[in-house]
């Protein structure tokens, strides 16, 4: 069971016998780390060579990886308005189990996080109930309705770390241009769900042979590419920082690669399910595999992996989208989109390392240093003075994902029974252990 990090002084804790991995500075070496209070006090290979004072509590990492706590840049946490699907308490408990120490929550709540009072509400509720750090994204438009821009400057001052309409694309090009221009002056990040609404609105899975065989209305890759192409033109006009969320197609990767080669201030994220699954997961109308954007063809999945490997794609996210049973156990067309992903993000991402697709350092970078840099967060690194947000990871032990084993309130996952390797053994936030899988004495 995860537990709160917000009360008391954790004192001094020595993490010994660890494989220290810090993508922020490309560190991978055996060593130890000392936390004092809520900060990292010392770190390195020679630490505690002369022994550990009796006054310091010790955690033997058993040769496992000790890395910065993971940062999930895209998750829906339910509150306010959708507590029947997830809450800040249950969602962040799931995050802790998954080794995630910082969650960036989406604004599509009820009411929408489009004013400073709602930002402050999320931060207050997180202090009371969350077991990991929570930062909200603010809505890009009022009510996420795509008609009027929010007061982004005020929202940023209140604590919003980026701006998005969540799973709704901003269709109005003039409004998006204004938002990017305004954001550029304040160095704010605009996050867009790239999907051309008119092409995508009637569809529910990837366009192709499988959709035809199943008789399901489909969404072409063009819906994603057209939306991205328009926004890249607007980025070039304005200089605004732009993040393409949850890209799903190989053609999108190619366009982003070109934009980065031109020096545009663009970045991109990919949800775990888009590189861990392809459209065949839909099977015979399996609604647990219904996502937005939809799962794509195998060649798209492979292109996403290549994009992560070469740096075109910057971050891995859970895209945690909790849905209650009634929302998912519907005919495929009517079923809600989304997968509960906070607990499965790490083990599924580690598949990229185990199958030789992407080095472990790069896999962890996309869940630590990269999102921290994009969002300007003071986390995601193993440095003296940095927040003591850590995860101990067993990268090798095999196990099976289980729907029944998820602690999130909603358990909508297509990964039930999937064999994986690796998991979080201990999650530490501000020096406090908030989750422990097994005793590490």
Contact 160, 138 (CB under 8 A): yes
* Catalytic annotation present for 54: no
Q: Write down the residue that tokens 């896999």 correspond to.
A: 363
CA triple 148-256-373, angle to 5 deg: 75
Contact 436, 60 (CB under 8 A): no
Q: Residue 293 and residue 60: Cα distance in Å, rounded? A: 42
* 222: phi then psi, degrees, rounded to nearest 5: -55, -30
Terminal C-alpha separation, the chain: 18
Q: Residue 93 and residue 1: Cα distance in Å, rounded? A: 8
Q: How many helices (H) and strands (E) does the chain have?
A: 14, 19
Query: Minimal CA–CA distance to 259: which of 313, 187, 194?
Result: 313
Q: How long is the chain?
A: 441
> Chain-centre distance of CA 214, in angstroms?
31
431 three-class SS: coil
Q: Residue 233 and residue 219: Cα distance in Å, rounded? A: 23
Burial of 209 (0-12, 13-18, 19+ CB in 10 A): exposed
Cβ neighbours for 236, distance < 8 A, ≥ 6 positions apart: 262, 264
Q: Residue 408 and residue 392: Cα distance in Å, rounded? A: 21
Query: Minimal CA–CA distance to 275: which of 223, 318, 216?
Result: 318
Element (H or E) spanning 35, and its range? strand 27-36
Contact 163, 178 (CB under 8 A): no
CA triple 180-291-397, angle to 5 deg: 105
The two three-digit tokens of residue 186, written as one number: 């304040």
Contact 294, 338 (CB under 8 A): no
Which among 114, 167, 319, 389 is annotated as catalytic?
319
What residues are labeled active site? 319
């Amino acid at each position: 069971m995860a537990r709160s990090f917000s009360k008391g002084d954790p004192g001094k804790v020595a993490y010994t016998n660890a494989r220290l991995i810090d993508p922020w500075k490309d560190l991978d070496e055996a060593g130890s780390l000392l936390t004092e209070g809520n900060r990292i006090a010392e770190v390195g290979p020679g630490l505690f060579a002369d022994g550990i004072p009796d006054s310091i509590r010790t955690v033997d990492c058993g040769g496992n990886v000790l890395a910065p706590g993971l940062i999930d840049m895209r998750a829906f946490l339910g509150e306010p308005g959708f507590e029947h699907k997830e809450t800040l308490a249950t969602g962040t408990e799931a995050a802790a189990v998954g080794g995630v120490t910082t969650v960036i929550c989406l604004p599509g709540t009820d009411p929408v996080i489009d004013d400073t009072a709602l930002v402050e509400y999320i931060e207050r509720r997180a202090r009371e109930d969350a077991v990991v750090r929570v930062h909200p994204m603010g809505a890009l438009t009022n009510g996420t309705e795509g008609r009027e821009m929010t007061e982004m400057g005020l929202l940023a001052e209140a604590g919003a770390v980026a701006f998005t309409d969540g799973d709704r694309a901003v269709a109005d090009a003039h409004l998006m241009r204004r938002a990017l221009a305004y954001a550029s002056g304040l160095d704010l990040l605009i996050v867009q769900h790239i999907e051309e609404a008119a092409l995508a609105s009637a569809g529910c899975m990837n366009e192709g042979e499988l959709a035809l065989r199943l008789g399901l209305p489909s969404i072409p890759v063009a819906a994603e590419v057209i939306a991205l192409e328009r926004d890249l033109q607007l980025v070039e006009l304005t200089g605004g920082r732009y993040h393409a969320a949850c890209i799903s197609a190989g053609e999108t990767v190619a366009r982003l690669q070109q934009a980065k080669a031109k020096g545009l201030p663009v970045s991109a994220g990919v949800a775990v399910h888009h590189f861990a699954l392809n459209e065949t997961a839909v099977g015979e109308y399996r609604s647990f595999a219904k996502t937005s954007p939809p799962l794509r063809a195998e060649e798209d999945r492979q292109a996403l992996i290549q994009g992560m490997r070469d740096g075109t794609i910057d971050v891995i996210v859970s895209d945690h989208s909790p849905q209650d049973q009634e929302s998912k156990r519907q005919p495929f067309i009517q079923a809600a989109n989304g997968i509960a992903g906070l607990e499965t993000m790490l083990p599924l991402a580690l598949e990229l390392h185990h199958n030789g697709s992407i080095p472990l350092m790069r896999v962890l970078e996309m869940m630590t240093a990269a999102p921290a840099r994009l969002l300007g967060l003071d986390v995601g690194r193993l440095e003296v003075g940095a927040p003591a947000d850590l995860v101990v990871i067993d990268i090798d032990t095999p196990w099976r994902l289980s729907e029944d084993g998820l602690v999130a309130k909603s358990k909508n996952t297509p990964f039930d029974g999937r064999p994986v390797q690796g998991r979080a053994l201990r999650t530490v936030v501000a020096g406090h252990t908030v989750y422990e899988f097994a005793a590490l004495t």
